[in-house]
Each structure stands twice: as structure tokens, then as C-alpha cells.
Amino acid sequence: MAEGLAEQAIVCCWTGTGASIAANKVPGVRAALCGDAATAAGARRWNDANVLALSLRTTSHALLGEILDAWFAGLPSEEQDDRLNVEHLERIAGAATAAAQAQLSVRDGYAAVAFYREAFGARELHRVGGAAPGEPLVSQLQAGGSAFWVADESPEHANFSPQTLGGGSARMLLVVDDPGAVQARALARGAQEVRPVAEERGWLLGRIEDPFGHHWEIGRPLGEWPPGHAAHAREG
């Protein structure tokens, strides 16, 4: 779920407490321990919870059905106070406040957000504008454990896209479990391959240019590594 391959998840242990604590250590996860249907419905509505934690000890088969029905029928509230509460949770968890986050200037922010969501499995944390194609936007996206921003270029603020400049001054490094699969998905959605995925200096690494002119290295360290650390900016 942290890599954007699923929208929700269920975790469980004997009491449910340990599973919920562990799940909430994963960036982007808001896990709720629910012992009844009302709690599950409230967690989805008011907290936009995306991971359901259950107790194997106290959850009967009948109760499980009630909880699951309430959970999957629930929708996050769009009321401003509730959205502010969710953003506050994100800040506490650190998923939305990494020390440094890159902002990518593009010519078509609406299309760029769609590309990053489809190609990289990114999850949108925040958006201003961009309600329809052609409308400028600023969007915060999360891929794995890190976040980055996408915004329509604004020459009046000296923000230019690579397409305007004829190149960029930085490239992005996206760390994923399966670099080959992610790179293939990006190529299928319009990216251009700069370098195929191959072993290089202790990494399995490839490189693409996305449809908006930004270069991405897609890879992971060879051998053991902690999954879920994605989308780190580095100098080109």
C-alpha cells in the first residue's frame, strides 16, 4: 500500500494493538484499531483511515462482517475541519513534512499528476487548483516514504519546466522493489527510456525521461534494503 499498489489494507494480531502500532510506522499509513462497526465507520469518515487493524481474540465472525461492511462502505469526509484533521495526522506522522521536498515545474500539471499516479503508483496528499484539464495546479504526491510536489510552471515566479529550459538542473531517484516493472509501466504511459534497468555500482538501476522533461532514476540497492523509501531528490 505504501508503494501505491493498493488503496487499503487489513492487519491483525491477537489484540490488534501491535499490528496497528506497526502499521502506523509505515509512511502514508493511517491504521485504526476497530472493535465495532461504528468505530470502523468513524475511522473511515473522520480520519480517512486506510488500514483496518483487528483483534483475533475479540472479533467474532458475525462482528467481523459488521466491521468490514462499515469499513468498506465508509467514505472520507470532505468537510474542511475533517480534512484539516487528516493533514494534521500526516504532519505528526512525518509523511507530509520531510526535511526537503522537490517541486517539479511542468507545463501541464493536471496531466503530470495523472502520469505520476499511474506510472509510479503515487498518492496525492494535497491539491490546490487543477479541478479540470488546463487549470493550473499545485499538488503534493507521495511515492513510498517520501513526498514531492508538482506545479504548473510560472515564469512570473521564475519557475520554468524542463521543456521551456531545454533541460533540467536536477533528477529524481525513485526507490522501488521492482525497478524493471515500474520503468516498464512508465514507458507504457509515454516516458522515454534513457538507460535500461541493469546492475550498476551496487544498485539495480534504470533511467527515464518523463513526458514533462524530468529525468528519473528508478532502482533499488542490491541485496537487503528497507522497502518503502521512495522519491528522493538528488542533484543531477
Selection from 65-79, 90-104, 144-158 with the highest mean pLDDT: 65-79
Average pLDDT, the chain: 88
> Which sequence spans correspond to the domains of the chain?
9-93, 103-235
Condensed to tens digits (0 to 9), the pLDDT of residues 163-199 reads: 999 998 888 999 888 999 999 999 999 999 999 999 9
What pLDDT is stored for residue 93 in this prediction?
Answer: 65
Spatial neighbors of 159 by CB under 8 A, at least 6 apart, are 103, 105, 151, 153
> For residue 6, what pLDDT is reported?
87
**Distance (Å, whole) CA 111 – CA 8:** 25
Does 13 qualify as catalytic in the annotation?
yes
- Grid-cell match 513510498, residue found: 144
Give residue for cell 502520469. Answer: 115
**Per mean pLDDT, which range of 93-102, 164-173, 204-213 is the poorest?**
93-102
Compute the half-sphere exposure of residue 117: CA atoms within 13 Å on the CB side of its CA.
15
3-state secondary structure of 224: coil
Residue of 1, 9, 10, 13 marked catalytic: 13
Q: Read off the C-alpha cell for 153.
A: 510552471
Q: How far is it, in rounded angstroms, from Cα 168 to Cα 48?
A: 36
Residue identified by cell 501541464 is 108
Report the b/e string of 51-77 with b at 16+ CB within 10 A.
Answer: bbbbbeeebeeebeeebbebbeebeeb
Question: How far is it, in rounded angstroms, from Cα 195 to Cα 34?
Answer: 47
- The domain covering 103-235 belongs, at the CATH homologous superfamily level, to 2,3-Dihydroxybiphenyl 1,2-Dioxygenase, domain 1 (3.10.180.10)
Per-residue pLDDT for 229 more than 60?
A: no
pTM of the predicted model, to two decimals? Answer: 0.59
Q: Residue 224 pLDDT more than 70? A: no
Q: What is the mean predicted confidence (pLDDT) over 65-92?
A: 86
How far are the Cα atoms of 74, 94, 120, 186 from residue 137, in angstroms, in the given order? Answer: 28, 23, 19, 22
Q: Does domain 9-93 have CATH number 3.40.630.10?
A: no
